Structure 1
Amino acid sequence: MDNEFSFPSLFILDKEDIIQYYTVKNFLCGRSINKLLRTLQSIQYVKENPGQVFPVDWKLNEQSLKSNPLKSKQYFKTFYSQKTN
């Protein structure tokens, strides 16, 4: 049993004890507190704002998306108009 070891892991559970996020890393991978905080904030935001989802690299106080793609047209219109300017 000398070869046993554990992997660094993180589990985020909500108030109902439902796993909302988990990660298991090997020892060679670094971890980012900023990514962890963003993930936690996004989970809390979605719980407080049903029907919302967050895009890639979302940050607190930035615009979110609607979970229904047809209702997110304005977000994508704004996003892509900023990219072309």
Structure 2
Amino acid sequence: MSDVVRGVQSQPGYYLPEGAQYRLQQLRDHMRFLARLAQPRTQVEEQARQPAICMDELAFCLELLAEQVSRVLDDVECTVIEGAHPLP
């Protein structure tokens, strides 16, 4: 852990390990990608009743997102359980 992070940790709040922060950034980017993917590209796609992406593919992406969120939450819970950062 860097000295900058140690200095910040003296302040109350929630702090994530570097790996958890990275996973959150990846999740954000993945969700933005899915949002762009789900947008209709042509007038025909916009009027179609069926989505432009397969529901199985979307379900798989959402499962991956849920797994990543769980990993970040586990990191947060471990930090709180260890007592490194008391809850406000």
TM-score (normalised: structure 1): 0.30
The structure where strand makes up a greater share of residues is 1
The structure where helix makes up a greater share of residues is 2
Larger RCO, structure (CA 8 Å, separation 6 or more): 2
TM-score (normalised: structure 2): 0.29
Bigger Rg over Cα? 2
